[in-house]
Structure 1
Amino acid sequence: MGKYTNLAKDIVTNVGGKENIVSLKHCITRLRFKLKDESIANDDILNNMDGVVTVMKAGGQYQVVIGNHVTQVFDEVNQVLGITDTTDSDNSEENVEKQGIFNAFIDVISGIFQPILVALSAAGVIKGFNTLFISLHWYSQTSGTYNVLNAIGDSMFTFLPILLGLTAAKKFNLNQYVGLIIGASLCYPAIQLDTLSKAGKPLYTLFSGTLFQSEVYQSFLRIPLISMNYTSTVIPVILICYFASKVEKSLNKVIPDMVKFFFVPIITLLVSLTLGFLVIGPLATFGSNLVGSAILAVRNFSPLVAGALVAGFWQVLVVFGYSYLLQ
């Protein structure tokens, strides 16, 4: 019997029993249950239980706040439930309808970002210390010490699409290695606008004089390939992985089992990344630019209104990388 076995048993009992639990995951301090019926959970008992800080309900989840030792309790709860695969894979249309669109969206985003939060925080702290030490003149920005620490801290953000490709694939029930390749492809140097602009002049420019002005340096099968910078981005890789999951699911239904192993990932990557580079990526980037421009427009029109909006959507703005606009 483990240290938290009794606590785990009591938690399972008071959230309505094993039969009431649809799925379970955890973040840094909380057990995040998805229950069939939250009304039968014993909130009062859980709130007063030794080992439980409090109970919260948000984003379609029943959250039991444990503390920093949540991973140990999580493992014990899974032992009680008899669960060996803790992946939260309940993304059916029926479940989305039960949650509501907004709660389903929050659930998807939290499911994608939660696994990398610890690494993301660690990288941010390392970058912060590196900047601090430069300001204190402990070493110069051209030193090897700076470069090593900057590589450790900055790599997480530069290659963020690779990590999100993995977690998004897991969330959307896509082959996780396909998700990794999608993320890595978006970070490939020869695709980035900065790399292409340094290498030569554009062939021509699309949408000149508009917010969507785009330089075209290369084409794919004679189709203009709008160049973007995808390193450090969030939205393109999530959307492409979602699309890839639908492609993979459709292919698994029609391709014979004998050749599925080879042909499903090949076709999934070719279809999803081709459309990703040609359509999904540019549209996602244009959408991001529109949101950024709207934020700046509101701030220029009324800082008071902008402050209210920012306060209400701060977490979303940070997740999608818009907080820099407010500096």
Structure 2
Amino acid sequence: MKYEQLAKDIIENVGGRENINSVVHCITRLRFKLKDESKANKEVLKDMDGVVTVMQSGGQYQVVIGNHVQDVYKAVVEVGGFGANDAPAEESGKTSLFNRFIDIISSIFSPILGVLAATGMIKGLNAMFVALGWLDPTSGTYQILNAVGDSLFYFFPIFLGYTAMKKFGGSPFIGMAIGAALVYPTLSTVTAGDPLYTLFSGTLFESPVYITFLGIPVILMSYASSVIPIIIASAIGAKVEKMFTKITPDVVKTFIVPFATLLVVVPVTFLLIGPIATWAGQLLGQATLFIFNLSPIIAGLFIGGLWQVFVIFGLHWGLVPIAINNLTVYGSDPVLAMAFAASFAQIGAVLAVWIRIKNQKMKSLSAPAFISGIFGVTEPAIYGITLPLKKPFFISCIGGAVGGAVFAFANSAIYMVGGLGIFGIPSLIPPTGELGFAFWAVVPALGIAFVLSFVLTYFFGLSKAHTTADPASEKVAVQKEEALLVGNQIVASPMEGLIRPLSEIGDAAFSSGALGQGVAIEPTEGRLFAPVSGIVTALFPTKHAIGITADSGAEILIHIGMNTVQLGGEHFTALVEQGARVEKGQLLIEFDIEAIQKAGFEITTPVVVTDTGKYAQVNTTTDKQIKWGDPLISLDI
């Protein structure tokens, strides 16, 4: 076995077989889950022939191998006696409590946000039609549209039961059954008569009891649209299911495990989890509103000003469940309303850049970024325009802060989870259709955020170099591009997007150049084309990375996103197979940028030549934006 000794050395220096919980691999590295990472000998591993470097990230001990990782992995599995498993590594629990919370929330809510926004938009439009007198709330048209708008939110526990159970490692359909029990319509009619007795009389938690379960009082709550009870119930349900799976004979597992799990979890949810979680949700809502009421304007400045920063780092997921909880408990929420102006502040800054900047590539990028920003999709604006230019981004934060303060001053709130950008305006209409001051303040709030960001960016956000054409600098850029083209071998860009140096990537294996020289691309389109003609020598099962050996002999690795191996192939479609011959410009992989980002993963894509050591010089393009097929890397022999 070619890599037997290397495998033995790796196992020994990660602490031995007994220190390894599991091992999987991605396109370039072995990913170990170790019982004790302190037992691993990092320096010895890094100095081994056949090991590029060692990284510790997300609870995984990663030994970077390079293109031969599949062969080394097979040797490790055979030498160590592991069960072969090409599945992606699971997210480790050895991360900070806050990061784990954000990961759980984003994983549970992100799969249904699109449908949630769609149904919210329908409900918002329905309310707007009533407010404008276009629809009678007693008409059949209104009733059907309202049913569509209310459908997901009313039965929220069923949908969350699926996603939460999946996240916690249980059977999603068991989670759905738990959620369905919570919103079972017959139980909502039980409270029509006189209660049997009352618990906690005279306290905040005073609760009439209408039914009992095996003699134990059941405190019935309204779980329609609720969030916290089903998430907690699913977390416990996943553990209960695993317990029964271990002790149930295989021949009857299919129905006995769900039977036993539901028989335990559903009553416990009604008796304990539901009431306690509901009370906790009410207290959370009261705490949120208490903080908001201390100083609404300061709250608006804070949320509106930092919302885009929250989005960049994924921290907004910590506020989304609070907002949904407020909608459930109170029927409205001020938190997301205060963030509403941020996207309009962003496009105000982009419009100013579009008008004033002289760089043609940045100008052409500003137009689609502005248009998408109108509809609430601000990622192209943030990552392509304002953040690289720095000042416009900070100015947009100022505009968002002022807009958020106006929203807070007017006591504006959202009444449903609706669309983004201009599609989100109907979500600010109360279900009654009454358009009071809180709604009409939306127009000046958005206008102020937009105009303030535009004016400040126009006059103060761009340097003279940005607004003045410089023939000399343009000539230098042309010369650099021509220098790129004189290389003996050309690697074309496999995708459209923004160019970033490898040094800016958070993954040390790429940023250090350990895996080879090249560049990173922030893709603006979810298509990856062949940068050269050659053979697909590596295509990971999760389809997030591909290796190509060019006809010239150059070995090229393209890794779509960071840690996207954890998606298990979801949102990726491979159009070729490993071993296939491809021609330059052939479409190889399609991927859903928005879905990948919503799942919490960075989409930055390194394109590296892994065998750069055999070339005298490696040149990369000096462009900031590139189209697929344009020269990206040249290799001089």
Q: TM-score, normalising length from structure 2?
A: 0.36
| CA–CA separation in structure 2 for the residues paired with 1:38 and 1:125 | 44
What's the counterpart of residue 263 of structure 1? 256
| CA–CA separation in structure 2 for the residues paired with 1:182 and 1:138 | 40
For the aligned residues, what is the CA RMSD? 3.0
What's the counterpart of residue 141 of structure 2? 145
| CA–CA separation in structure 2 for the residues paired with 1:188 and 1:250 | 27
Does the 8 Å CA contact 2:30/2:63 hold for their aligned counterparts?
A: no
| CA–CA separation in structure 2 for the residues paired with 1:20 and 1:147 | 56
| CA–CA separation in structure 1 for the residues paired with 2:204 and 2:299 | 21
What's the counterpart of residue 132 of structure 1? 128
What's the counterpart of residue 10 of structure 1? none
| CA–CA separation in structure 1 for the residues paired with 2:89 and 2:198 | 42
Give the superposition deviation at 1:141.
Answer: 0.1
Give the superposition deviation at 1:290.
Answer: 1.3
> What whole-Å deviation, never above 9, does each CA across 1:223-282 have from its counterpart, x for those lacking one?
000010001001111111111100011111111112212211101001011101100111
| CA–CA separation in structure 2 for the residues paired with 1:288 and 1:309 | 23
| CA–CA separation in structure 2 for the residues paired with 1:280 and 1:230 | 12
Change (3 A) 1:35 1:294: closer
What's the counterpart of residue 332 of structure 2? 324
Does residue 196 of structure 1 match 2:184? no
**Range moving further from structure 2, 273-282 or 170-179:** 170-179
Summarize the alignment of residues 25-64 of structure 1 with structure 2, pairs less than 5 Å apart.
Answer: 36=60
| CA–CA separation in structure 2 for the residues paired with 1:153 and 1:325 | 18
Amino acid at match of 2:137: Q
Does residue 230 of structure 1 match 2:226? no
Give the superposition deviation at 1:112.
Answer: 0.9
| CA–CA separation in structure 1 for the residues paired with 2:280 and 2:302 | 18
What's the counterpart of residue 102 of structure 1? 98
| CA–CA separation in structure 2 for the residues paired with 1:20 and 1:187 | 45
Change (3 A) 1:314 1:109: closer
| CA–CA separation in structure 2 for the residues paired with 1:38 and 1:139 | 60
Does the 8 Å CA contact 2:241/2:257 hold for their aligned counterparts?
A: yes
Does the 8 Å CA contact 1:190/1:196 hold for their aligned counterparts?
A: yes
Gaps of 5+ in 2: 1-25, 33-56, 65-84, 307-317, 335-412, 414-637
> What whole-Å deviation, never above 9, does each CA across 1:159-213 have from its counterpart, x for those lacking one?
0111111111111121121111111111101233xx333x211111111222211
Does the 8 Å CA contact 1:244/1:272 hold for their aligned counterparts?
A: yes
SS in 2 for 1:324: coil
What's the counterpart of residue 76 of structure 1? none
> 1:315 is matched with which residue: 316, 320, 330?
320
Does the 8 Å CA contact 2:29/2:62 hold for their aligned counterparts?
A: no
Does residue 282 of structure 1 match 2:279? no
Change (3 A) 1:187 1:310: farther
Does residue 212 of structure 1 match 2:199? no
SS in 2 for 1:215: strand
Change (3 A) 1:203 1:325: farther
> What whole-Å deviation, never above 9, does each CA across 1:79-117 have from its counterpart, x for those lacking one?
xxx98x8xx8835xxx111x2111111111111111111
**Range moving further from structure 2, 309-318 or 273-282:** 309-318
Change (3 A) 1:264 1:18: farther
| CA–CA separation in structure 1 for the residues paired with 2:144 and 2:169 | 36
What's the counterpart of residue 558 of structure 2? none
| CA–CA separation in structure 1 for the residues paired with 2:89 and 2:147 | 34
Amino acid at match of 1:168: A
What's the counterpart of residue 120 of structure 1? 116
SS in 1 for 2:198: strand
What's the counterpart of residue 621 of structure 2? none
Change (3 A) 1:269 1:189: same
Amino acid at match of 1:17: I
Change (3 A) 1:220 1:35: closer
Gaps of 5+ in 1: 1-15, 23-32, 41-81
SS in 1 for 2:107: helix
Does the 8 Å CA contact 1:89/1:172 hold for their aligned counterparts?
A: no
**Range moving further from structure 2, 301-310 or 172-181:** 301-310
- Aligned pair count reads 251
More helix by percentage: 1
| CA–CA separation in structure 2 for the residues paired with 1:319 and 1:300 | 19
Does the 8 Å CA contact 2:178/2:230 hold for their aligned counterparts?
A: yes
What's the counterpart of residue 168 of structure 2? 172
> 1:17 is matched with which residue: 23, 27, 37?
27
Q: TM-score, normalising length from structure 1?
A: 0.69
| CA–CA separation in structure 1 for the residues paired with 2:103 and 2:139 | 43
Does the 8 Å CA contact 2:29/2:63 hold for their aligned counterparts?
A: no
> 1:183 is matched with which residue: 176, 179, 185?
179
What's the counterpart of residue 90 of structure 2? 90
Amino acid at match of 1:132: M
> What whole-Å deviation, never above 9, does each CA across 1:43-79 have from its counterpart, x for those lacking one?
xxxxxxxxxxxxxxxxxxxxxxxxxxxxxxxxxxxxx
| CA–CA separation in structure 1 for the residues paired with 2:220 and 2:150 | 23
Give the superposition deviation at 1:35.
Answer: 9.0
Change (3 A) 1:316 1:183: closer
Does the 8 Å CA contact 1:251/1:264 hold for their aligned counterparts?
A: yes
Change (3 A) 1:207 1:129: same
> 1:154 is matched with which residue: 141, 150, 171?
150
SS in 1 for 2:204: coil
Does the 8 Å CA contact 1:162/1:181 hold for their aligned counterparts?
A: yes
Amino acid at match of 2:320: Q
Summarize the alignment of residues 72-83 of structure 1 with structure 2, pairs less than 5 Å apart.
Answer: none
Give the superposition deviation at 1:18.
Answer: 4.7
